[in-house]
Chains A and B, each alone.
Chain A
Amino acid sequence: MSAIALLMGLLVLSYLGSLLVGTGKTRGLASGIEFIGLGFAVGPHALGLVERPMITEFEPIVQVALGWLAFVVGLDFGRVEGRRVGTTSTALGIACAVITGLFVAVAVYVMLELVPVGLGRASGVILAAGAGAIGAETARNAVEWVQGRWGAKGPVSSLLVDIGAADDLAPLVAAGAIFAVAPSPGVALSLPAWGWFGAAVALGALLGTVTALLLRGAEDDAVWGALIGTLLLGVGVAARFGLSTIFVTFVMGIALAAASPSRRALRKIVNPTERAVLYPMLLLAGARLDPRPVLENRMLLALVALVLLARIFGKIVSGFVVRAAAPAARPAGAWLGIVLLSSGPVSTACGFVFALRFPGPVGDTLLLCAVASAVLGELVSTLSLKAMLTEAGEIVAAPASSGAVRGASVPPPPPSSSSGVAMADAADAADAPGDEKEPVA
């Protein structure tokens, strides 16, 4: 397959993704693993239609796509469907991600200490920390997918969406911190890890502010130029120093949302691009997936299994924490943590940036961990979430025949008007008094 053919394939995926905006949240699988599977199938380790050098040739596009996804997450951070996520939900989301990430990282680190897998100490630390970053997330897409497909509405589902939206912070910050430990070799500047981390934050914040300045009074046509220009510069500079591109653009998105008076208009024009960028990225992630290191070294395979187990354990503990802290979550039952296992774009993006930055066993294993987490979440979390929400009374059981028809073809009503009200109510119920709300314009 030629580079142009691959590009056309990616554009077709992008086209399909952009067609699904708005009504497409329930189409396909919640995590998008079918695109990863497709990428793997056409990639160099299966059918071989896309060869490794071609994937390398597309690396700049991949870096930019990953950066764009993190930028969109940053720009919309702390918001769901246009409303602001309460402080309590945000804190819970971050706490859950940190708990799970720590479980995974410590488990991997201990295993690497006990069982030699042929990696150096520094690589081992990066592998353990990277696994923690990748294992931390709960994908809000999965909850939204269930909400959309079965019309779930109520305090539990809206709390889960909020948690899923807030916990993106942890893996992205973790990626920023881990990359700061290992800047590019050959950089003519010596800084401690915290210095590089600070540099990444400063770079993102600076570019976000510059973007806000550029957008002051900018014509509609010039907006894309400013956004794409600052994003490219941020990704390029970060990549040259070996900093985490997704962390820099995530900070950039947050800074832009904070500094620009046009933040709402920006979100409106940027959010629809998410799927158009996501699907090609997932396909390339699948094509980049290299199972050989794991197949050749059985201990790495065991490590992937350990990551999944630790993630399950961490999420179960997180579920208990959520139930203890948020009364709205109590109807969810003791196995709330299982439904938090869903994993999606942020984890895959994290895995992909690790694979690009640390090629070889470390990067390949981490990308495999991300994909395995997504598969596990898809198998376990989505259906258990549906069962849990049905039990909690947030999904009204439909007659078998109509349910079958509905599930098969007809997209459910988007959770906008009435369900949006319910979510806002639920958030108000779940959050402590005094949470900051979006001012009414």
Chain B
Amino acid sequence: MSAQTAKGIRTRAYDALSLAIVFALLWFSTTLGPGAQDAASLVAGLGFLLLAGTLTSELIEVLRVPHLTGYLVAGMVAGPHVLHLISHESVKRLEPVNTLTLALIALAGGCELRVDALRAGLRSLAVAMVVQSVLGLLVVGSVFMIAAPAMIPFAKDMPLAAVFGVALLWGVLAISRSPSATLGVLSQTRAQGPLTTFTLGFVMSSDVVVVILLAGAIGVARPLMDPSAVLSLQAFGALGHEIVGSVAVGTTLGLILAVYLKLIGRQLLVVLIALGFGATEVLRYLHFDPVLAFLVAGFVVQNLSKQGDRFMHAIEGASGVVYVVFFASAGAHLDLPLLKDLWPVALLLAGSRALVTFGAAKLSSRIANDPPRIRTWGWAPLISQAGLTLGLSAVIAREFPAFGESFRALAIATVAMNEVAGPIFFKLALDRTEESRGHAPALAEADEPEPRAP
């Protein structure tokens, strides 16, 4: 089921027929069945997203777009804004799947970070991080400031200082990337090579950088919007506690996992589910960041034990299903009417972000003297934005209730564009650099003859 698999017209026809059947079944169920908000609707919707996402991704594979785009498209089409086959409530009730997915993504992301590879590319990563962060923050923030009086309704009547504060927040949002989209595309392509290593290192570490920058930006922006407020270091104290605590818990968790893998090593799926739900709940209760903790745990398993490959294999096995549901439900969640309203300004902001990402990647590659692949395609993996950015926008909305919801709506519209376009660029880069690898063994290849009693 990968791009590398040559498929005949008959297989495509079967896929199309299956997709039609799946759509028809859900349509009949939604049209004729009672109660669109009950448990049965949720179960049917979940199954539909899984099937329709998979089948759509198979069908649009001929366009050489990533599977992830197919999952998003399936969710969008069936979601509450187009065909209404899946209700808002069902999409909301699927949020536990997101919790599990983010845990798996973080564990996988940590596992992908190998110390030797990071050490080898440290200069490249550091330069890219600085250049991308500084230029992204400055350029996209400036575009926001320029566009605010004419195109951004909630910032029209704000004083200049307040607009500057909002632009600063937007700039931080603009330099966030998407670990989920990155790992989603890598999971499909099974890519390996310099670009893949650079991407993983950059995207995973930028997660931490953005969280720190956001705390700083909130601290700076608050007095700009509210003259009675003062610049406070309290946020940094809490942030430090959160980061140090998360790293400590993640290290412990990673060591426990390594011991478990070495001594028992069975039923990893159940262990991963327990971690995804149970450990996330505990970490939230302790006010630690689950994503950072799991990232560190994966990193520890990979680099402080010999169990990394085994653990990674288990995560890949579990993540296949959850990725489809995660992105398909994200597609269903995309607020298309909002995008319709905000598309000019969203396009301006997403476009300027893409341009500055491109320019910054070229500049940082030149400074760090990167290999040709990264110099040519290093920008492509950095376009995607998804759950992390939406999470940050939710934090901003909570911190600044006066304009937070409008800010968040604009973020959703921009993320929608980056979420659709970003993975396509990344897949294109992996294909062009020939880092995409062959597909996994098919079920039929594993189908040994059944022993028969004589």
With A18-B267, A228-B321 known to touch, is A216 a contact of B43 (CB < 8 Å)?
Answer: no
With A82-B451, A236-B44, A262-B447 known to touch, is A225 a contact of B54 (CB < 8 Å)?
Answer: yes
What are 9 A-B contacts with C-beta separation under 8 Å? A210-B21, A213-B14, A214-B54, A218-B1, A219-B5, A232-B44, A236-B44, A237-B29, A240-B44
Contacts of A262 in B (CB 8 A): 443-444, 447
Contact with B along A1-34 (1 / 0, CB 8 A): 0001001100100110011000000000000000
Contacts of A423 in B (CB 8 A): 453
Contacts of A239 in B (CB 8 A): 39-40, 43-44
Report yes or no: B47 in contact with A231, Cβ–Cβ below 8 A: yes
Report yes or no: B270 in contact with A15, Cβ–Cβ below 8 A: yes
Secondary structure at chain A's binding surface: helix, strand, loop or mixed? helix
Contacts of A438 in B (CB 8 A): 450, 452
Q: Does B330 contact A (CB under 8 A)?
A: no
Q: Does A184 contact B (CB under 8 A)?
A: yes
Q: How far is the CB of B9 from chain A (nearest CB, A)?
A: 14
In the complex, residue of chain B having the shortest beta-carbon distance to the beta carbon of A186: B34
With A239-B43, A276-B270 known to touch, is A221 a contact of B451 (CB < 8 Å)?
Answer: no
Report yes or no: A265 in contact with B444, Cβ–Cβ below 8 A: yes
Interface residues in A353-403 by Cβ distance below 8 A to B read: none
Interface residues in B408-454 by Cβ distance below 8 A to A read: 439-444, 446-454
Complex: how many Å from CA A241 to CA B31?
11
Leading 9 A-B pairs by shortest Cβ distance: A236-B44, A232-B47, A441-B449, A186-B34, A233-B47, A424-B453, A239-B40, A229-B50, A240-B33
Secondary structure at chain B's binding surface: helix, strand, loop or mixed? helix
Complex: how many Å from CA A293 to CA B96?
35
Partner of B34, one of A185, A210, A234, A266: A185
Q: Does B26 contact A (CB under 8 A)?
A: yes
Chain A interface size band reads 35 or more
Q: Does B266 contact A (CB under 8 A)?
A: yes
Report yes or no: B452 in contact with A236, Cβ–Cβ below 8 A: no
Complex: how many Å from CA A217 to CA B4?
13
Contact with B along A143-154 (1 / 0, CB 8 A): 000000000000
Interface residues in A155-192 by Cβ distance below 8 A to B read: 184-189
Partner of B43, one of A64, A186, A261: A64
Q: How far is the CB of B246 from chain A (nearest CB, A)?
A: 19
Report yes or no: B33 in contact with A241, Cβ–Cβ below 8 A: yes
Q: Does B32 contact A (CB under 8 A)?
A: yes
In the complex, residue of chain A having the shortest beta-carbon distance to the beta carbon of B321: A225
Complex: how many Å from CA A163 to CA B448?
28
Partner of B441, one of A203, A213, A219, A261: A219
Contacts of A232 in B (CB 8 A): 43-44, 46-48, 50
Partner of B453, one of A188, A215, A219, A420: A420
Contacts of A8 in B (CB 8 A): 274, 277-278
List residues of chain B with CB under 8 Å of any chain A CB. Answer: 1-2, 5, 7, 11, 14-15, 17-18, 21-22, 25-26, 28-29, 31-35, 38-48, 50-51, 54-55, 266-267, 270-271, 273-274, 277-278, 281, 316-317, 320-321, 324, 439-444, 446-454
With A217-B442, A221-B317, A240-B29 known to touch, is A233 a contact of B44 (CB < 8 Å)?
Answer: yes
In the complex, residue of chain A having the shortest beta-carbon distance to the beta carbon of B5: A217
Contacts of B266 in A (CB 8 A): 18-19
Q: How far is the CB of A86 from chain B (nearest CB, A)?
A: 13
Report yes or no: B47 in contact with A236, Cβ–Cβ below 8 A: yes
With A188-B32, A241-B33, A440-B452 known to touch, is A217 a contact of B444 (CB < 8 Å)?
Answer: yes
Complex: how many Å from CA A145 to CA B317?
32
Contacts of A226 in B (CB 8 A): 51, 54
Report yes or no: A236 in contact with B40, Cβ–Cβ below 8 A: yes
In the complex, residue of chain B having the shortest beta-carbon distance to the beta carbon of A79: B450
In the complex, residue of chain B having the shortest beta-carbon distance to the beta carbon of A60: B39
Given contacts A63-B43, A220-B442, 7 further A-B pairs with CB under 8 A are: A185-B34, A187-B34, A230-B47, A240-B38, A241-B33, A264-B448, A441-B449
Q: How far is the CB of A328 from chain B (nearest CB, A)?
A: 16
Complex: how many Å from CA A8 to CA B280?
12
Q: How far is the CB of A4 from chain B (nearest CB, A)?
A: 5
Contacts of A437 in B (CB 8 A): 452
Report yes or no: B267 in contact with A15, Cβ–Cβ below 8 A: yes
Complex: how many Å from CA A219 to CA B2?
8
Residue in B277, B440, B450, B453 with the greatest tally of chain A CB atoms within 10 Å? B453
Q: How far is the CB of B201 from chain A (nearest CB, A)?
A: 25
Complex: how many Å from CA A412 to CA B25?
48
Instruction: Give the A-B pair count, Cβ closer than 8 A.
Output: 202
Q: Does A206 contact B (CB under 8 A)?
A: yes
Report yes or no: B453 in contact with A220, Cβ–Cβ below 8 A: no
Report yes or no: A233 in contact with B444, Cβ–Cβ below 8 A: no
Report yes or no: B442 in contact with A219, Cβ–Cβ below 8 A: yes
Q: Does A222 contact B (CB under 8 A)?
A: yes
In the complex, residue of chain B having the shortest beta-carbon distance to the beta carbon of A217: B442
Q: How far is the CB of A145 from chain B (nearest CB, A)?
A: 21
Report yes or no: B273 in contact with A11, Cβ–Cβ below 8 A: yes
Contacts of B46 in A (CB 8 A): 232, 236
Q: How far is the CB of A221 from chain B (nearest CB, A)?
A: 4
Contacts of B267 in A (CB 8 A): 15, 18-19
Report yes or no: A236 in contact with B29, Cβ–Cβ below 8 A: yes
Contacts of B444 in A (CB 8 A): 216-217, 261-262, 265
Contacts of A83 in B (CB 8 A): 452-453
Contacts of A193 in B (CB 8 A): none
Complex: how many Å from CA A188 to CA B33?
6
With A206-B21, A216-B14, A265-B444 known to touch, is A188 a contact of B48 (CB < 8 Å)?
Answer: no
Complex: how many Å from CA A78 to CA B316?
34
Interface residues in A257-280 by Cβ distance below 8 A to B read: 261-262, 264-266, 276
In the complex, residue of chain A having the shortest beta-carbon distance to the beta carbon of B39: A60
Q: How far is the CB of A77 from chain B (nearest CB, A)?
A: 15
Report yes or no: B54 in contact with A233, Cβ–Cβ below 8 A: no
In the complex, residue of chain A having the shortest beta-carbon distance to the beta carbon of B2: A219
Complex: how many Å from CA A170 to CA B140?
67
Interface residues in A394-417 by Cβ distance below 8 A to B read: none
With A7-B277, A228-B321, A438-B450 known to touch, is A59 a contact of B443 (CB < 8 Å)?
Answer: no
Partner of B54, one of A15, A216, A222: A222
Complex: how many Å from CA A265 to CA B442?
11
In the complex, residue of chain A having the shortest beta-carbon distance to the beta carbon of B270: A15
Complex: how many Å from CA A187 to CA B36?
12
Contacts of B447 in A (CB 8 A): 261-262, 264-265
With A59-B39, A219-B442, A441-B450 known to touch, is A230 a contact of B51 (CB < 8 Å)?
Answer: yes
With A225-B321, A241-B33 known to touch, is A14 a contact of B270 (CB < 8 Å)?
Answer: yes
Report yes or no: B42 in contact with A60, Cβ–Cβ below 8 A: yes
Report yes or no: A236 in contact with B448, Cβ–Cβ below 8 A: no
Q: How far is the CB of A423 from chain B (nearest CB, A)?
A: 7
Q: Does A299 contact B (CB under 8 A)?
A: no
In the complex, residue of chain A having the shortest beta-carbon distance to the beta carbon of B446: A265
Complex: how many Å from CA A225 to CA B53?
10
Q: How far is the CB of B274 from chain A (nearest CB, A)?
A: 5
With A4-B277, A225-B320 known to touch, is A63 a contact of B40 (CB < 8 Å)?
Answer: yes
With A15-B267, A228-B47 known to touch, is A233 a contact of B22 (CB < 8 Å)?
Answer: yes
Report yes or no: B50 in contact with A225, Cβ–Cβ below 8 A: yes
Complex: how many Å from CA A221 to CA B5?
14
Q: How far is the CB of A350 from chain B (nearest CB, A)?
A: 19
Q: How far is the CB of A166 from chain B (nearest CB, A)?
A: 18
Complex: how many Å from CA A11 to CA B281?
15
Contacts of A194 in B (CB 8 A): none
Q: Does A91 contact B (CB under 8 A)?
A: no
Contacts of A186 in B (CB 8 A): 34-35
Complex: how many Å from CA A221 to CA B1?
9
Contacts of B317 in A (CB 8 A): 221, 224
Q: How far is the CB of A363 from chain B (nearest CB, A)?
A: 16
Q: How far is the CB of A144 from chain B (nearest CB, A)?
A: 16
Complex: how many Å from CA A262 to CA B446?
9
Partner of B31, one of A188, A217, A235: A188
